[in-house]
Amino acid sequence: MSALSDTAGIAPGPQKRMKSRVWAKFRRNPSALLGAVLVAFFVCVALLAPVLPVPGPLETDWLAVRKPPSAAHPFGTDEIGRDVLSRMIWGAQASLMAGVVSVFIALLLGIPLGVAAGYRRGWTDAAISRVTEALLAAPFLILAIALAAFLGPSLTNAMIAIGLSAMPAFIRLARGQTLSVMTEDYVESARAIGLTDLAIIRRYILPNIFPPLLVQATLTVATAIIAEASLSFLGLGQQPPAPSWGSMLNIAKNFLEQAPWMAMWPGIAIFLVVLGFNLLGDGLRDALDPRET
Amino acid sequence: MLGFLARRILIAIPTVILISVFVFTLQKLLPGDPVLAMAGEERDPEVLAFLREKYRLNDPLYMQYFHWIGGVLQGDLGISLRTRQPVLTLIGEKLPVTIQLAVMALIIAVFIGVPTGILSAYRKGTWIDWLANIVALSGLSIPNFWLGIMLILLVSVNLGWLPASGYAPLSEDPLRSIQTMIMPAFVLGTGLAATLMRHTRSAMLGVLKSDYVRTARAKGLNERVVILKHALRNALVPIVTVATLLFGELLAGAVLTEQIFTIPGFGKLVVDAVFNRDYAVVQGIVLCTAVAFIAMNILADAAYRILNPRMRDT
């Protein structure tokens, strides 16, 4: 059952109390706070990229090719003398955008389909469920690679490919949660007083299926960031010379002996931001779970 | 059990048909003309027309699908447009390599994940539990291709202990084979170990609270016997099912791991096929992977019923 199902249709007072209880539980969880701090840090870095005092990510300096970290270039330079720190900062934009946009695509398509399957049941449910099972049968990354190859290599297409590959998990979750909420008395009452299907979905179903979807979305952002880095690493995501952590690693693997720092920083950044989203997702799950005290 | 298996297989058939339609349609929509890729430098219209006719690329799409699926049902997944070898032969050549990698990765994952999960559950709420959880979450957060690159840098480039790439078949040179595979298997195994650790911890926490564990302790049994014989045996039910379901993750992880360590397996085959627009190979690989994944799901359900007597009557 959804974490908030017992709050639907109740007065704003108890709902406010529940929100503050969730926030209090979240605040008491050091791992969740660490996750939130990590995510906030990378979001700030990505947003502030244009105003940070670093060279442009495409600026080359042929006198500083593959230079190790120094005061002038704290993270070193790459194979054509570009500042690695600058490319890392601008790469954060690509990675975070890929994570968030692809999950948004998955939610945008997955929620309506999942709710329709759970609410309508019958043939609608059977058809949507079979298609979902078929999509879930192909491993996430293999499906994303196949879709990215079909759409053509670019960051936008990688986001679409990842979003479509992540969509089945959201359809299944939204369907399951809808089926669960549908058994509640308040949905029966809403039907009895003659509310339309759309009104019931908007007022009762969507607010109650939101918490587990939020947790799943946060955890999927982590998966999507790794998937984007993987696709860019394979040459199917962000295209050079535009910076992305995955494509930086793809180039860096050719200079491991001469310039190991080129490979080190992008990996650490991916690890930290993914860890941040995983910790945040776990923290949200614990905070929204009414059984956890 | 036979009835259960038959039911599960029947339910899986529409899913497999849908996958085949999806895979076929997707590959047909890929950019680029496969005939041009196949012909190479040759641009003679007659040759191109001959190739289109030979591979039935002039037929309507649905006819191409029926032709393709008819062949698939007889074990004919088509011919690779690039190497001109049957797709099934290509997959058959590459699969043992990836299976070796996957088995080694799974062994490493079980050896790391299960004991850590037990320890974490047994010491719930202590610093050991906290540390194990952080390590597991880190394992899930590290991109395995980056871990591979860092290990190559440390173990191969700096220390010179293991080869950075290459492959030797297990049957021809077992020592060399293990030397080349141990590092990729570790890279692939760490993420799975984290997943296994979390499931083991969760399963053990449930079991450790149960009455029979309390009874075993009340009887004065040695704590090790209680944990390993009474608790773990019951906790193994969900762990075994999860391990079976990790198959999909193993295959997906193998794609990148094989690229980094230049292992000529299934994963490398899929990437090469995508970049060469080798439709038939991509179709065959995605279809085989999906069917194998469904089969593993059915096996996981069957294993769950075998291991859990309460499920047998349902």
Q: Could you tell me if A109 and A167 are in contact, meaning their C-beta atoms sit under 8 angstroms apart?
A: yes
Q: Does the beta carbon of B192 lie under 8 angstroms from any beta carbon of chain A?
A: no
What tens digit of pLDDT does each residue of A33-63 get?
Answer: 999 999 999 999 999 999 998 888 988 888 8
B141–A222 CB contact, under 8 Å = yes
B141–A256 CB contact, under 8 Å = no
* Predicted pLDDT of residue A3: 40
Q: What is the CA radius of gyration of chain A?
A: 22
Q: Could you tell me if A43 and A290 are in contact, meaning their C-beta atoms sit under 8 angstroms apart?
A: no
What tens digit of pLDDT does each residue of B118-137 get?
Answer: 899 888 888 998 888 888 88
Residues of chain A with Cβ-Cβ distance to B289 below 8 Å are 138-139, 142
For residue B210, pLDDT over 90 is answered with no
Nearest to A229 by CA among A99, A76, A85, A35: A99
Q: What's the mean per-residue pLDDT of chain B?
A: 84
Report DSSP state, residue B153.
I
A140–B252 CB contact, under 8 Å = yes
For residue A286, the distance in angstroms to the closest alpha carbon of chain B comes to 14
B18–A138 CB contact, under 8 Å = no
Residues of chain B with Cβ-Cβ distance to A137 below 8 Å are 15, 19, 290-291, 293-294, 297
Q: Does the beta carbon of B140 lie under 8 angstroms from any beta carbon of chain A?
A: yes
Residue with tokens 């959804």: A2
Neighbours of A183 (CB within 10 A): 10
Rounded mean pLDDT, A251-259: 89
For residue B291, pLDDT over 70 is answered with yes
Residues of chain B with Cβ-Cβ distance to A279 below 8 Å are 137
B293–A138 CB contact, under 8 Å = yes
Q: Does the beta carbon of A30 lie under 8 angstroms from any beta carbon of chain B?
A: no
Q: Does the beta carbon of A289 lie under 8 angstroms from any beta carbon of chain B?
A: no
Long-range contacts at A31-35 (CB < 8 A, ≥ 24 apart): A31/A279, A31/A282, A31/A283, A31/B133, A31/B134, A32/A279, A32/A280, A32/A282, A32/A283, A32/A284, A32/A286, A32/A287, A33/A283, A34/A276, A34/A279, A35/A275, A35/A276, A35/A277, A35/A278, A35/A279, A35/A280, A35/A281, A35/A282, A35/A283
For residue B294, the distance in angstroms to the closest alpha carbon of chain A comes to 6
- Considering only CB atoms, A141 lies closest to which of B27, B149, B252, namely B252
Rounded mean pLDDT, B25-41: 70
**What pTM was estimated for this model as a whole?**
0.85
Angle at A50 between CA A44 and CA A51, to 5 degrees: 80
Measured CA to CA, the distance from residue B178 to residue B170 in angstroms comes to: 7
Report DSSP state, residue A184.
S
Q: Which residue of A has its CA nearest to B24?
A: A146
Of the pLDDT bands very low, low, confident and very high (cuts 50, 70, 90), residue A14 is low
Strand partners, B79: B86
* Predicted pLDDT of residue B32: 66
Measured CA to CA, the distance from residue B107 to residue B97 in angstroms comes to: 16
- Among the residue ranges A52-56, A270-274, B50-54, B104-108, the one predicted with the least confidence is B50-54
Tokens of A244: 């992305």
What tens digit of pLDDT does each residue of B107-121 get?
Answer: 999 999 989 998 998
A233–B22 CB contact, under 8 Å = no
Q: Does the beta carbon of B293 lie under 8 angstroms from any beta carbon of chain A?
A: yes
* Predicted pLDDT of residue A17: 74
Rounded mean pLDDT, B267-278: 82
Residue with tokens 């012909």: B39
For residue B222, the distance in angstroms to the closest alpha carbon of chain A comes to 32
Which SS3 state, helix, strand or coil, does residue A77 take?
Answer: strand
Q: Could you tell me if B187 and B106 are in contact, meaning their C-beta atoms sit under 8 angstroms apart?
A: no
Neighbours of B31 (CB within 10 A): 9
- Among the residue ranges A79-88, A209-218, B6-15, the one predicted with the least confidence is B6-15
What tens digit of pLDDT does each residue of B86-107 get?
Answer: 999 998 888 889 989 999 999 9
Q: Which residue of B has its CA nearest to A267?
A: B146
Q: What's the mean per-residue pLDDT of chain A?
A: 88
B141–A249 CB contact, under 8 Å = no
For residue A8, the distance in angstroms to the closest alpha carbon of chain B comes to 30
- Considering only CB atoms, B26 lies closest to which of A146, A253, A266, namely A146
For residue B197, pLDDT over 50 is answered with yes
Where does chain B have alpha helices with state H?
A: 2-28, 34-39, 45-54, 61-73, 87-122, 127-141, 144-151, 174-208, 211-218, 223-225, 232-245, 247-260, 266-275, 279-307
For residue B241, pLDDT over 80 is answered with no
Give the start-to-end residue ranges of the domains of chain B.
Answer: 93-268
Q: In chain A, which among 53-92 make CB contacts under 8 A with chain B? A: none
For residue B83, the distance in angstroms to the closest alpha carbon of chain A comes to 20
A137–B249 CB contact, under 8 Å = no
* Predicted pLDDT of residue B36: 76
For residue A4, pLDDT over 50 is answered with no
Which SS3 state, helix, strand or coil, does residue A240 take?
Answer: coil
For residue A11, pLDDT over 60 is answered with no
Calculate the alpha carbon distances from A287 to A18, A211, B13, B100, B137 in Å: 10, 10, 41, 42, 18
For residue A92, pLDDT over 90 is answered with yes
Q: In this predicted model, which residue has the larger pLDDT, A140 or A252?
A: A252
Domains of chain A and CATH, by start: 74-288 (1.10.3720.10)
Percent of the residues in chain B that have a pLDDT greater than 90, as a whole number: 17
Q: Could you tell me if A226 and A270 are in contact, meaning their C-beta atoms sit under 8 angstroms apart?
A: yes
* Predicted pLDDT of residue A10: 46
Tokens of B176: 């060399």
Tokens of A129: 């469920």
| ipTM of model | 0.84
B137–A139 CB contact, under 8 Å = no
A142–B30 CB contact, under 8 Å = no
Interface probe for B, chosen from A128, A142, A145, A286 (most Cβ of B below 10 Å), is: A142
Calculate the alpha carbon distances from A179 to A120, A134, B135 in Å: 10, 21, 36
Q: Does the beta carbon of B259 lie under 8 angstroms from any beta carbon of chain A?
A: yes
For residue A137, the distance in angstroms to the closest alpha carbon of chain B comes to 5
Q: Could you tell me if B272 and B73 are in contact, meaning their C-beta atoms sit under 8 angstroms apart?
A: no
What tens digit of pLDDT does each residue of A140-177 get?
Answer: 788 788 777 777 788 998 999 899 989 999 999 999 99
B137–A278 CB contact, under 8 Å = yes
- Among the residue ranges A23-32, B144-153, B271-280, the one predicted with the least confidence is B271-280
Q: Which are the contacts of B177, defined by CB distance < 8 A and separation ≥ 6?
A: B100, B167, B168, B169, B170
For residue A29, pLDDT over 90 is answered with no
- Among the residue ranges B55-69, B182-196, B234-248, the one predicted with the least confidence is B234-248
For residue A233, the distance in angstroms to the closest alpha carbon of chain B comes to 9
Rounded mean pLDDT, A133-140: 81
Measured CA to CA, the distance from residue A7 to residue B107 in angstroms comes to: 46
For residue B28, the distance in angstroms to the closest alpha carbon of chain A comes to 9
A239, amino acid identity = Q
* Predicted pLDDT of residue B306: 78
B93-268 homologous superfamily: MetI-like (1.10.3720.10)
For residue B247, the distance in angstroms to the closest alpha carbon of chain A comes to 9
* Predicted pLDDT of residue B30: 64
Measured CA to CA, the distance from residue A15 to residue A29 in angstroms comes to: 22
A271–B140 CB contact, under 8 Å = no
